[in-house]
A and B are shown apart, each in its own frame.
Chain A
Amino acid sequence: MSLYVDELFDEISRLPPESREHALSTRCAGFPSVEAQLRALLSADEAPAQDPPVVLQPGVVLGTYELVEAIGVGATASVWRAWDRHLEVSTALKLLNPTGHMQGNNAQSAVLNEARAASSIISDHVVRIRAAGRFADGHHYIDMELCAEHRPGDDGSEVLEIGRSLSEVQLHGIEEKVRVIAEAARGVDAAHRVGVLHRDLKPGNILLTPVSRRAKVTDFGLAAEQIYPMPDATTSCDQTITVLLEARDGKVVGTPAYMPPEQAFGHPPTRATDVYALGATLYALLVGEHPYEPRLGAPVPALDVLAQVRQRPPRPLRRAARVPRRLERIVERAMARSARDRYPTASALADDLEAWLAGLPTQVDGRAPVLRSVLFVGRHRTVATTIAALWVVLILFSGALGWLELQHLGLERAIAEERSELVIIQQEADQARDALQRAEARRESAVAEAEEAQRRMTKAEQGKDREAQSRRQAELAQADAEAARADAEAAQRRAEAAQADAEAARADAERGMLLAEDARDQASEALSVAQGALARAREELATSKRAFTEIKAELEARLEREQIARAEVEAALRGSRSAIQEAEQLIDDLTRTLVAEQAARKRAEQDLDALSRVVTISHGPPEPGELVEISHNDAH
């Protein structure tokens, strides 16, 4: 069998001190060195702090603090009014008992967790944390803002008065109770905003400043970290307790009388948990008893209340005390058994409590216009009538204002139009001035051009003289050309006459033709001379050519007319010819008819002859009537 020091230490250190000796002697029998080592280890494990814990009493100095008086003493911690010798200020010092359920690192982390959680909250309604740590004697501490105020004494001096929790002070009337819980809800909401849940809200954890009577929430962040005592039959239901559940790692931490059902079942706490606890605190303030405590009954043990919370809702508020119906609805909503039905945030609860105090509609009132107006009139009895009058004035005034506004708009539009027209006119004037300047410039350049043209004209005049001279020459040439043309025409006429007269005149005609050709050559020569001499003469020549062409066209037209007339004569001739042909045709027809009649007559005569022969032989001569009729039938 092998012995391991660490294994034995692990086993024996878990045993209660009274049974360790037995375990040591049995397990280490025969191994005195191991036993000695284990004893040393266990001794070191249990070794107390260097300084034994001091007995807490007024006058004791711990670190920089001097204890003055105990403000509150609980199962796991006590709160002292202390004097901070460094800063020279009174402070609330919470000291965790070094013995008991918390030791070493657990206690330290619990203290630091509370300090961290609470020190990040920014609110006038939360007790501020100034410092946290551990004294040399092993006491863990949290240095908190002292909830205290100076109260002027009768003799003129001031006395520092310590604020007490809501479970210790008397509040004046429903309004103050509601206001204090609304303020506490504001503080809790500030904690929720930085992700800190309280988890143990109750009258004992809400302090009231003694003079200004303001609520300050304290003891944040402890519930889950610290280990609170397990309850027994005598534990009251307003004590913070720990109940271990059967489920693995499950435990309920909190104060049964103020915890919602889900917390009583060990579910993780939410913001709604704190909302319920605020509602339960208000319930307790209004009624004077815990929600689950029967009227006039003895204090109910914590575990009984825990069982009740799990099973059923608390007594209805209206049966416990005379509370206004609208306030009762607020408490009912805050304490709804289902977290979903509660106010979603502590600030929503604070809003409704403040609304109730101010006589304003709350969320739980729903939409009730009549209630709203009643509340309004209740808030402002004289103001309400004044407001009605003001409404009338306001309506009249707004009407007048509207009319003025319209007038003003119209005027403004007119002014805008005028202004835009003015701008257009200005633009047009500018354009006109520009145009005028341009025209002036154009006029000047035109004058310059005119002068230039004058000079050119003078020069052209000189040229014109030369032109007239050449024109005269051209006219002369034209006259020559016309004369030549006349000659040519005469020659042509003569040639035609000669041709028309006889063969004998052909030589003359040919000579005439030659002459004419010569003349034509001369004319063209003259023409070319004229062309070469003067280009301007070409136009006149073209004109004469056009005249020539016209004459020629006239001649041709005449010729055409003659041809048409000839064609008409020929057509007439063709008509008479066809008439003659028709006549000849008619004659032919008549002739054929005649011949046919002649042939028919001949055949008839032959037939007659033959018949007369037949008749002569047999019957004598026939009746002339009968025979004619027969021949007629044959002819057809």
Chain B
Amino acid sequence: MPATHQELRTIYGELRTVARALLRREPYAHTLESCELVHQAWARLLAGDLRQVALDEPQRVIALAVTNMRRELVDHARRRKAAKRPTGRTRVDLADAPDLSHQQPELLLAVDRLLDELEAGPARVRNGARKAEAARYALYGGLSEAEIAEVMGVPKSTVGSDVRFAKAWLGARLDEGAG
């Protein structure tokens, strides 16, 4: 059963909570709220073979979770695609992906495509893959720059530059497409 908008919001919140707990090496079980969907998702991730991985390399689990979140959001946006279309000048708020997926599904899909494009490394842009990855953590994982820095193992200042560039790049490309 596909996740509803509200469920996506909850999962998104839990993802960030658990990601923070993992990064701080805190017990994460009690941070989970009683949302069945979230429980199942994290139970699969954390109770099975991935448990030790979660303890040893939280980054990998977070990366996996963020990938799953991205798929959920993109799926959700695809199902709602017919409803709305992106219009006008756009500023991408990378902090509220579930709302974006729900209210502006077309925009989320466009952003996702553009991130793929950035990952491939457009002309005159270095480290496109790293920039896209950092942006995905911010967009789909809701992680802060400091958290992204720890997950990716790069300096925080680099993450700051990467995310700022990625956002500007997305904004410019979306404006370009709209105009």
Contacts and interface: CB of A to CB of B under 8 A. Distances in A.
A10 B145 contact: no
Contacts of A616: none
Contacts of B167: 44-45
B91 A41 contact: no
Contacts of A4: 124-126
Q: How large is the interface on B (under 10, 10 to 19, 20 to 34, 35 or more residues)?
A: 20 to 34
Contacts of B164: 10, 13, 45
B68 interface: no
A47 interface: yes
B57 interface: no
A49 interface: yes
B169 A7 contact: no
Nearest to A42: B168
The winner among B127, B145, B172, B175 for most chain A CB atoms within 10 A is B172
A44 B165 contact: no
B127 A49 contact: no
A5 interface: yes
Given A34-B124, A43-B172, A45-B171, A9 B165 contact: yes
A50 B89 CA distance: 8
Interface in A1-40: 3-7, 9-10, 13, 34, 37, 40
Given A4-B125, A105-B144, A49 B91 contact: yes
The winner among A13, A37, A44, A45 for most chain B CB atoms within 10 A is A44
A167 interface: no
B43 interface: no
B7 to A, nearest CB: 19
A563 interface: no
Interface in B155-179: 161, 164-165, 167-172, 174-176
Given A5-B124, A10-B161, A40-B176, A48 B168 contact: no
A7 B165 CA distance: 9
Contacts of A5: 124-125
Interface in B38-92: 89-91
A10 B126 CA distance: 12
A6 B91 contact: no
A57 interface: no
A40 B177 CA distance: 12
A13 B170 CA distance: 16
B124 A44 contact: no
Interface in A37-90: 37, 40-45, 47-50
A109 B91 contact: no
A40 B91 contact: no
B91 A48 contact: yes
B171 A6 contact: no
A47 B125 contact: no
A245 to B, nearest CB: 20
Contacts of A209: none
B3 interface: no
B37 interface: no
Given A3-B124, A5-B125, A40 B161 contact: no
Interface string B84-108: 0000011100010000000000000
B136 interface: no
Nearest to A104: B95
B172 A41 contact: yes
The winner among B91, B124, B131 for most chain A CB atoms within 10 A is B124
A49 B174 CA distance: 15
Given A3-B124, A4-B125, A50 B176 contact: no
A530 to B, nearest CB: 112
A108 interface: yes
A13 B163 CA distance: 13
Nearest to A44: B171
Contact of B168 (A34, A44, A109): A44
A44 B172 contact: yes
B23 to A, nearest CB: 15
B168 A13 contact: yes
Nearest to B94: A105
Contacts of A41: 165, 168-169, 171-172
Contacts of A6: 124-127, 131, 161, 165
Nearest to A50: B91
The winner among B95, B168, B174 for most chain A CB atoms within 10 A is B168
A108 B138 CA distance: 13
A47 B171 contact: yes
A9 B91 contact: no
A3 B126 CA distance: 10
Contacts of B165: 6, 9-10, 41
A105 B126 CA distance: 25
B168 A45 contact: yes
Contact of A37 (B91, B161, B170, B172): B172
Given A40-B172, A109-B144, A47 B91 contact: yes
A9 B124 CA distance: 11
B125 to A, nearest CB: 5
A4 B126 CA distance: 7
A86 B131 CA distance: 41
A7 to B, nearest CB: 7
The winner among A3, A7, A45 for most chain B CB atoms within 10 A is A45
Contacts of B125: 4-6
Contacts of B170: 44
Contacts of A44: 91, 167-172, 174-175
Interface string B121-146: 00011110001000000000000110
A10 B162 CA distance: 9
Contacts of B176: 40
A7 B172 CA distance: 16
Interface string A103-138: 011001100000000000000000000000000000
A48 B164 CA distance: 14
A104 B144 CA distance: 11
**Which 7 A-B pairs have CB atoms at the shortest separation, nearest pair first?**
A44-B171, A40-B172, A45-B168, A44-B172, A41-B168, A5-B124, A47-B91
30 contacts: A4-B124, A4-B126, A6-B125, A6-B126, A6-B127, A6-B131, A9-B168, A10-B161, A34-B124, A37-B172, A40-B172, A40-B175, A41-B165, A41-B169, A41-B171, A41-B172, A42-B168, A44-B91, A44-B167, A44-B169, A44-B170, A44-B175, A45-B168, A47-B91, A49-B91, A50-B89, A50-B91, A104-B95, A105-B144, A108-B95
Interface of A: 3-7, 9-10, 13, 34, 37, 40-45, 47-50, 104-105, 108-109
Given A43-B172, A47-B90, A105-B144, 20 more contacts: A3-B124, A4-B124, A4-B125, A4-B126, A7-B126, A40-B175, A41-B168, A41-B169, A42-B168, A44-B167, A44-B174, A45-B171, A47-B89, A47-B91, A49-B91, A50-B89, A104-B95, A105-B95, A105-B145, A109-B144
Interface of B: 89-91, 95, 124-127, 131, 144-145, 161, 164-165, 167-172, 174-176
